[in-house]
Chains A and B, each alone.
Chain A
Amino acid sequence: MLASIQRRLQEIGISGHVYRYGVVHGIQIYRKLDVEKFRRLIPSYRLKARVAG
């Protein structure tokens, strides 16, 4: 699932990395340009609710 999302994100020009923290797996976008692009392409209520400003 995460690998599929990672592949789809790469198709729209966002690089993400799948990580593992114990039993939890996730996908991480840590480059600022990619995060900004993510927020621009995918306007999310959840991100707006959590990110200050």
Chain B
Amino acid sequence: MRSLRRIGWNSGEGTRQISPVTSGKGVPEPLALLGVQVAVTRGRRLFTKQREPCWLMVGSTVRTSHSSGKQQKRIDPYLIGMLYGDGTSYASKRGAYSVSVDQVRGQLLSSEVVPRLRKMNFNVHFYDYMSKTDGSHKWRALVFSKDLFLWFGEMRRNIVDVVDGLTNNDFKKFLQDSSMQKARIQIDL
């Protein structure tokens, strides 16, 4: 006896990925960035979907809405430095994309990082936890956003281009509190 799924009675209206990377929007974004044609099944139909070429800029902008597709928001240069130094990203198998910043002291996160992220209309989760790796108490600012996740990866791969593209004022904000300036300057003082 054939199952209902096999004969297509209950195929559903949702979009099914043909790639292990799920975006919930039909086409894996890393493939879409390459401007390739991706076959997508919707229900029982099979069609190809032409996505726009890469418009997610490597510089200091990030897309903020999947649905609108065009809306871009400027990333604060302070956040570029902070995320490049201390940021981590994680994509779960269930399709959750997150970018987070961990600090031992929460003051910097609460006073600088969280307000800047919230100003960009990101839903920021700010909490403390005990680290399993070193047993220390840490604070974390976590954002679930696929757009920020993708931008974060591009930014880390092209950090030299990002730095070169900053103005002098933006470059000062980029260096401010970024993890690249650490104890060396203290020793040299």
B80 to chain A minimum Cβ distance, whole angstroms, is: 13
- B181: which of A11, A41, A47 is its contact (CB, 8 Å)? A47
B160 touches A1 (CB 8 A): yes
**A1-B160, A1-B163, A35-B188 in contact; A43/B176 too (CB < 8 A)?**
yes
**A4-B160, A4-B163 in contact; A28/B184 too (CB < 8 A)?**
yes
Q: Which of B105, B168, B171 has the most CB of A within 10 A?
A: B171
B5 close to chain A: CB less than 8 A = no
**A4-B160, A28-B188 in contact; A46/B168 too (CB < 8 A)?**
no
- Which B-chain residue is minimally distant from A46 (CB atoms)? B177
A33 to chain B minimum Cβ distance, whole angstroms, is: 12
Bound complex: CA A38 to CA B160 (Å): 21
A-binding residues in B (CB < 8 A)? 105, 107-108, 111-112, 159-160, 163-164, 166, 168, 171-172, 175-177, 180-186, 188-189
B-binding residues in A (CB < 8 A)? 1, 4-5, 8, 11-12, 26-30, 35, 38, 41-47, 49-51
